Amino acid sequence: MNAKPFDFAGDLFESLHESGLQLALASSSNPDEVEYYTRLLGVERFIQAKTSKKDAKHSKPSPEIFEAALERVGTDPQFTFIVGDTPYDILAAHRSALPIIAVLSGGFARELLTKAEFIFENAGEILDQYEHIDAYFSE
């Protein structure tokens, strides 16, 4: 099944939120940039936590930013996954012992993202593959 194309990131975040997921944005951008893009995408009402550069001493591939987001959102790490689009995201997630879904939207070749637990063409595929992703946590 092809992934549903999302015209707006808000559609994806809303669908994930309605599925019962707790969502956090773990960015190492400046705080004002995180605020700007959160508003631009229209996702602020669907996320429970967000981080920025001020929440970690080191940028990815350090796991600090993911650990800060996890602490803020308060979910159980055993039932948490990361979505990222760079090899640095994958390394940071694994350094936190968290599984990661890599999406090819970041411009990195698939070959550089193969250490991710899942690789999708775009984030919209998360909804199409939700049962498969959920089964990962049962294994």
pLDDT in tens, 114-128: 999 999 998 889 988
Cα–Cα distance measured from residue 38 to residue 45, given in angstroms and rounded to the nearest whole number: 10
What are φ and ψ of residue 97, in 5° steps? 60, 40
> What is the rounded distance in angstroms from the CA atom of residue 58 to the CA atom of residue 40?
26
Longest dimension (CA), the chain: 41
Quote the pLDDT of residue 8. Answer: 53
Q: Can you give the pLDDT at residue 11?
A: 87
The pLDDT tens digits for 37-92 are 898 888 999 999 999 999 999 999 999 999 999 999 999 999 999 999 999 999 99
* Domains observed in the chain: 9-136 (3.40.50.1000)
